Amino acid sequence: METFNFLMHGFAVASTPENLMIALVGAFIGTVVGMLPGLGPINGVAILLPFAFALGLPPESALILLSAVYLGCEYGGRISAILLNVPGSAAAVMTSLDGNPLALQGKAGIALSISAVASFVGATIATIGVVLFAPLLANWAVSFGPAEYFVLMVFAITCLSGLVGDQPIKTAVSALIGLGLATVGVDAVTGVYRFTFDSVNLSDGIQFTTIVIGFFSVSEILILLERTSTGQKVVEQGKRSLFNLKELLFSLGAMLRSGVMGFVVGILPGAGATIASAMTYTSERKIAGETGKFGEGDLRGLASPEAANNASACGSFVPMLTLGVPGSGTTAVMMGALTLYNITPGPQLFTEQPDIVWGLIASLFICNVILLVMNIPLVRFFAKLLDVPNYILIPSIAAVSFIGVYSINSTTFDLVFMVALGVFGYFLRKTNFPLSALILGYVLGELMEDNLRRALSISQGELSILWSSNITIVLWILAILMVFMPIIRKLYRRKFRPAV
């Protein structure tokens, strides 16, 4: 009953005219950013983050804006995946496998509308999960001390290399680069200057917005410059722009199952929507068996990844709010937004800042309704935006990125450094180093260092405090399992590989 009262309070915060308008604008911008190939939710949130701060929005309104952009990007990614066979984000790759064949069969309207409903169902299931489980997890997390938090963050880093892709070493290296960038600046305890190279501009560390916009937006501009135009024709919607009841019932089971699985995956630190969509697509293909036409235009193959990636996006708020550990690269950026307001995410947030927590959770419900209502009638309009040529798109992204970074500290050093980081990020992307792992490493770096110092000061330098409680022992075991997960996965594939 107490949770219900808090949720009602959250709706009172999120449904003010100001916050409703912010949610509407964020959902629209997120959908547009999400459907433009390559940009994705991290870029959308990163570009708007400095504007939210510079405009003087209160923290709850800033989070509502960024979460609306996040969810909008997850919705928008399916549009280009279906109409162009070019996923708007990594999570939408699985959507294109059955979405584009449906479009080529003249069922683009059906594919777009059923995927919008799947996104809504998955996100709603996950948001209900956030309401039910986040307060419980927050109460449990109160028992965490500095040692438990340090080991938890080690576990989050190992989750990246154990779950993300088939290149765990590159993922681990990216995370270590992020951890290294977090150490730049004056040491808060000793006052020693670390890795500043005698530059006054680096004495306070590297600004979070400079890192995010440099690595994501500037590197994306360089990637886009390699292309001269979209190069592909948008598929028409077809005769029908809406699914019928039979098609909805056919894919409903896949939506519900994938929504639950996506939420569970989203809770895991660092797992993210890409893994959730891949897992649910594979699982639904196995459930369908020989009756399925996966890869040829099966509605279940379209609905399952869409429900999963939106559920995962909502689920990733749980570890961020309750444990202070980002559940995805995008929530890592949102954690950075909280630090700009001097707010530390974690279990105390539920008691100290209920307006922020419950306002955000309530806004997830509101944003999903806005996105469902917006996406079905406006699909034709969004499809037209896919024809925007790069000579308009690239300068627009560049202008917004430069203005956003300059608006924080008004220094040219940040602009130059942002470009340098963007060039470095470009080479990392070309060599397949995941930038989301780098951002997670950067966000966790300062928290890891602070908690390690506090733990060692409590134990007077005894390292045994890091494995002295049941929670730390369980987390170390899980971290070790994550380290060996790629090897286990490779052995499993080799053992069960079908004979040629």
pLDDT digits (tens, 9 = 90+) for 320-335: 888 777 777 788 778 8
- What is the pLDDT, as a whole number, of residue 239? 62
Rounded to whole angstroms, the Cα distance separating 312 from 274 reads: 9
Dihedral class, residue 244 (left if φ above 0, else alpha if ψ from -120 to 50, else beta): beta
Q: What is the mean pLDDT of residues 370-391?
A: 74
Which residue did the predictor score with more confidence, 404 or 421? 421
DSSP characters over 172-234 = HHHHHHHHHHHT-EE-TTT--EES-TT-GGGTT---HHHHHIIIIIIHHHHHHHT-SS--SPP
Q: Is a pLDDT exceeding 50 seen at residue 387?
A: yes
Rounded to whole angstroms, the Cα distance separating 125 from 188 reads: 42
Q: What is the mean pLDDT of residues 360-369?
A: 90
Closest-CA residue to 278 (of 164, 169, 403, 136): 164
- What is the pLDDT, as a whole number, of residue 500? 42
For residue range 16-29, list pLDDT tens digits in order: 999 999 999 999 98
Q: Is a pLDDT exceeding 60 seen at residue 364?
A: yes
In the chain, the percentage of residues whose pLDDT exceeds 90 is 5
- What is the pLDDT, as a whole number, of residue 383? 63
- What is the pLDDT, as a whole number, of residue 381? 72
Rounded to whole angstroms, the Cα distance separating 79 from 85 reads: 9
Contact 269, 436 (CB under 8 A): no
- Tell me the C-alpha to C-alpha distance, in Å, between residue 148 and each of 9, 167, 266: 32, 28, 21
For the ranges 52-66, 161-175, 435-449, 484-498, the lowest mean pLDDT is seen at: 484-498
Q: What's the per-residue H, E or C state across 350-406?
A: HHHCHHHHHHHHHHHHHHHHHHHHHHCCCHHHHHHHCCCCHHHHHHHHHHHHHHHHH
Confidence band of 366 (pLDDT split at 50, 70, 90): very high
- What is the pLDDT, as a whole number, of residue 249? 86
Q: Is a pLDDT exceeding 70 seen at residue 315?
A: yes
Q: Is a pLDDT exceeding 60 seen at residue 363?
A: yes
Q: What is the mean pLDDT of residues 164-174?
A: 72
Q: What is the mean pLDDT of residues 236-265?
A: 79
Rounded to whole angstroms, the Cα distance separating 379 from 60 reads: 30
Rounded to whole angstroms, the Cα distance separating 406 from 424 reads: 20
For residue range 145-158, list pLDDT tens digits in order: 788 878 877 887 77
Torsion of CA 400, 401, 406, 408, to 10 degrees: 100
- What is the pLDDT, as a whole number, of residue 24? 92
Q: How high is the mean pLDDT of the chain?
A: 79
Please, what is the angle between helix 40-54 and helix 329-340, to 10°? 10
- What is the pLDDT, as a whole number, of residue 89? 65
- What is the pLDDT, as a whole number, of residue 214? 82
Q: What is the mean pLDDT of residues 431-450?
A: 79
Dihedral class, residue 388 (left if φ above 0, else alpha if ψ from -120 to 50, else beta): beta
Which residue did the predictor score with more confidence, 491 or 338? 338
3-class SS at 60?
helix
Which residue did the predictor score with more confidence, 151 or 40? 151
3-class SS at 429?
helix
In the chain, the percentage of residues whose pLDDT exceeds 70 is 84
Rounded to an integer, what is the distance from CA 270 to the centroid of its chain? 9
- What is the pLDDT, as a whole number, of residue 230? 47
- What is the pLDDT, as a whole number, of residue 170? 82
